[in-house]
Amino acid sequence: QVQLVESGGGLVQAGGSLRLSCAASGSIFSIYHMAWYRQNPGKQRELVARVFSDGNTNYADSVKGRFTISRDNAKNMVYLQMNSLKPEDTAVYYCAALRLTTYWGQGTQVTVSS
């Protein structure tokens, strides 16, 4: 099992930046693919960015060029650097660990004001 704890959310003006962090514990972190998802009330949870166990990454089209996902296997951490934030980025952001099953954090709120 993997336990995930997100931090770093908050309120920011449009055009600003935030860095989300996710601390993982409980299993061999390096073998998991890690991802950030986001969700708004009444909407489906959507994939924002993913970093695979081999270090490769991919991004949703809506965040390409603005967001960067990274991982530090030595610290069991995954990060999401979010730049040039837009009001439509407002959501609860969830960290996920994926392998044979998916583990979720509790989420952190990101609010971007216009």
Tens of pLDDT, residues 35-78:
999 999 999 999 999 999 999 999 999 999 999 999 999 999 99
Banded model confidence at residue 85, pLDDT cuts 50, 70, 90: very high
Q: What are phi and psi of 76, to 5 degrees?
A: 55, 45
Residue 2: DSSP 8-state: -
DSSP SS3 for 54: coil
Q: What is the pLDDT of residues 90-110, one digit of tens each?
A: 999 999 999 989 999 999 999
Least confident stretch, 5-9, 30-34, 62-66, 68-72: 30-34
Number of neighbouring beta carbons within 10 Å of residue 82: 26
pLDDT for 1 equals 85
Centroid of chain to Cα 94: 6
- Mean of all residue pLDDT scores within the chain: 96
- Would you say 47 and 98 are in contact if contact means Cβ atoms under 8 Å apart? no
